[in-house]
Structure 1
């Protein structure tokens, strides 16, 4: 393949790929649906039915006003395959949660027994389909976090306050999603970012293992959207170190972020893997950002091959992120999925080294705090989108 930094030729484009836009900001054919809103903030109704603020976590690392905004979105907290009848402890936005199954349905609730404050995630799998069991006094909790048994008083009525605070939970793209502003049973109108082609015929669905990053979720997402770091950070995995120049592109605003098409000669093939690619082939990467911390990417390979992925950064705290990945492809579907896991881990480990070293740890939303270059258009659009949902300009962790 060519190592030309900027295409100065008529590119080879597969027949069903959208043509390069006449102007960088134009929306190409085939992506009309990209302007649809996928994420939106959910309103919060207090237990008495009145609208109000959510109760803050005990150990808050976010600005309280920023936390109230972020808590109204849906985030993945676990891989579906990791959730069994036994308790699984996770953390979202500083709030410890317990995830488990009852009759196949997923429950997400506060990881705290109302009786004496024991972490329910420390309990053992009971293998009886009746929910989880507090390891301290044996209280049982079932569907929607309802307390079903108090062994010390089996004939007494169970107090309402003994039920867990349970949250809306849905399974999509092999992931368990929840929203701290939705109570269990309030899953209507779920606003979860899509994985393009996930349900399309001929596409193999893959969930790579999650990756923990010691950084703010916004930093990780911005790095995923960045196209200027390939030649420097990913030279050992797929990128051409001699091809650092970034062709012009323009993000197009959408109701929940933006989408953009990035055309370049930078290939997307693991080093050491052979694929027949014309020397003058022009690669299309279609990015779609969904506020606050998710972004999809569809890479157009030769001969109609597609790789589609969702980068979903789940904010454990203001300084810790759990990165979930849902992807699908219509090529190499007979190859070991472990190869995909290994390649994905290599790329994101390369990214993690950069993200964890960035200062300040928070993502500066005031455009005057850092110096920008034309290649930063996606980064600038992302920070603007976060400001638009009301996050503070300095976003100090």
Structure 2
């Protein structure tokens, strides 16, 4: 599936940039091959419009913010968050033609990131209630570009067969390659949820993070996929620790994803440092990245194109649901010719 050729994918929310990055001024971002400029208005709320001035197509992201508006660097035209032009310095009268506007997009802040939808959203931004729970702390982990499809990353997140090989140096048990069956599996309107229990190995850094001396433990996993490319992984340990990882694979283009990851935990910095937590999760994600960047970005929704085994059920359902989404909106899967 070539994501940039499927218009319905514009109707979902994607995390695009840390909101703190906008404090330095307007920033450019490409979402589904659409160039955006993002900035903060006078009230500190994020705005997103097409990064092309309607006058002579200059990049607005090379301009500055004036009174909460983005000002074009070419002739000084100013636009508000909806994309409407509110100032043309060359005009001697207050009247500005209604055609002086650029395309504006849905834009909100959530969890420390700016989220954008390029068209009327079909769903809400994923809910992660633990972020607002005072018993939990949020740790921003990384924000970087991966050369892989978002769907590959989502399937990988639900694949209990890969950890014993891909993550054998961090938590996998390669001598026990057969994972247990899923405990539960539920399809949601725009996603799915699965639970399972996975035996794992504790490396030295993980022993520190889990506050244990045991070489082995189990992860009680509750995984939620939010269509199309966001997931929440809730990991509960026998000692009561809860470690929640949110990962968003925001599609820049067909081959590239902007990966956003943060975690939420029910412990304190005085118990386990954020630096140690980030270090372990970073090791795990780098192991994934090495493999995923070698996969084909044109992920087929037709399950007959690739081979499968019993642990691939979540990924198969993801493909079925995306195919059904395209069909419901009068689209067909577009792949390389």
TM-score above 0.5, yes or no: yes
Which residue does the alignment assign to 2:58? Answer: 118
Distance apart, 1:219 and its partner CA: 1.3
The corresponding residue for 1:245 is 178
Once the two structures are TM-superposed, the CA of residue 269 in structure 1 deviates from its matched residue by 6.0
Shift in Å, 1:338 = 3.3
TM-score of the pair, normalised by structure 1: 0.75
The residue aligned with 1:135 is 73
Q: Give the direction of change, closer, same or farther, for the CA distance of 1:215–1:279 in structure 2 (3 Å limit).
A: closer
Q: Structure 1 residue 350: deviation in Å? A: 1.6
Match of 1:265 in 2: 199
* Equivalent of residue 357 in structure 1, options 289, 294, 310: 294
Distance (whole Å) between structure 1 residues aligned to residue 79 and residue 312 of structure 2: 49
Q: Structure 2 vs 1, CA of residues 295 and 191 (structure 1 numbering), >3 Å: closer, same or farther? A: same
SS in 1 for 2:119: strand
Tell me the equivalent position of 2:48.
108
In the TM superposition, what is the alpha-carbon distance from 1:239 to its structure 2 partner?
Answer: 2.6
Residue 89 (structure 2) aligns with? 151
Match of 2:151 among 200, 210, 218: 218
Secondary structure at 2:57 match in 1: coil
Equivalent residue in structure 1 for 2:26, among 78, 82, 87 = 87
Structure 2 residue matching 1:384: 3-state secondary structure: helix
TM-superposed deviation, 1:319: 0.9
Query: Given the superposition, is the C-alpha separation of residues 282 and 336 from structure 1 closer, same or farther in structure 2, using an over 3 Å criterion?
Result: closer
Indicate conservation of the 8 Å contact 1:313/1:324, yes or no: yes
Q: Which of 227, 230, 234 matches 1:298?
A: 234
Moved more, 329-338 or 172-181: 329-338
CA distance in 1, matches of 2:84, 2:51: 13
Where in structure 2 are the equivalents of 1:1-397 lying within 5 Å?
62=3, 64=5, 67-84=6-23, 86-103=25-42, 104-123=44-63, 125-126=64-65, 129-182=67-120, 191-249=124-182, 250-267=184-201, 271=205, 273-274=207-208, 275-276=211-212, 281-334=217-270, 335-359=272-296, 361-390=297-326, 395-397=334-336
Instruction: Compute the displacement of 1:167 (Å).
Output: 1.1
**TM-score, structure 2 length as denominator?**
0.88
The Cα shift of 1:251 comes to: 2.5
- Offset at 1:296? 0.8
1:377/1:101 CA distance change after superposition, 3 Å: same
Q: Which has the higher helix share?
A: 2
- Give the direction of change, closer, same or farther, for the CA distance of 1:365–1:277 in structure 2 (3 Å limit): farther
CA drift at 1:215? 1.5
User: Displacement, 1:302?
Assistant: 2.9
Kept in 2: contact 1:263–1:283 (CA 8 A): yes
When you count strand as a share of all residues, which structure comes out higher? 2
CA distance in 1, matches of 2:123, 2:187: 22
Instruction: Work out the CA distance in 2 between the residues paired with 1:212 and 1:140.
Output: 31
Check whether the contact 2:160–2:198 (CA below 8 A) recurs between aligned residues.
no
Aligned residues: 327
User: Structure 1 stretch 239-248 or stretch 221-230: which is displaced more?
Assistant: 239-248
Gaps of 5+ in 2: none
**Conservation of the 8 A alpha-carbon contact between 2:203 and 2:215:** no
Tell me, what secondary structure is at the counterpart of 1:116? coil
> Could you say which residue in structure 2 is the equivalent of 1:41?
none
Deviations 1:333-367 (A, max 9, x none): 334433333333332222112111113x2111111
Q: Secondary structure at the match of 2:264?
A: strand
Distance 2:13 2:213 in 1: 39
Can you list the C-alpha shifts for 1:201-259, whole angstroms capped at 9, x where unaligned? Answer: 21001222212111221112111222211121122233333332211115221222211
TM-fit CA distance, 1:320: 0.8
Query: Where do 5+ consecutive residues of structure 1 fail to align?
Result: 1-60
- Residue 90 of structure 2 aligns to a residue whose secondary structure is coil
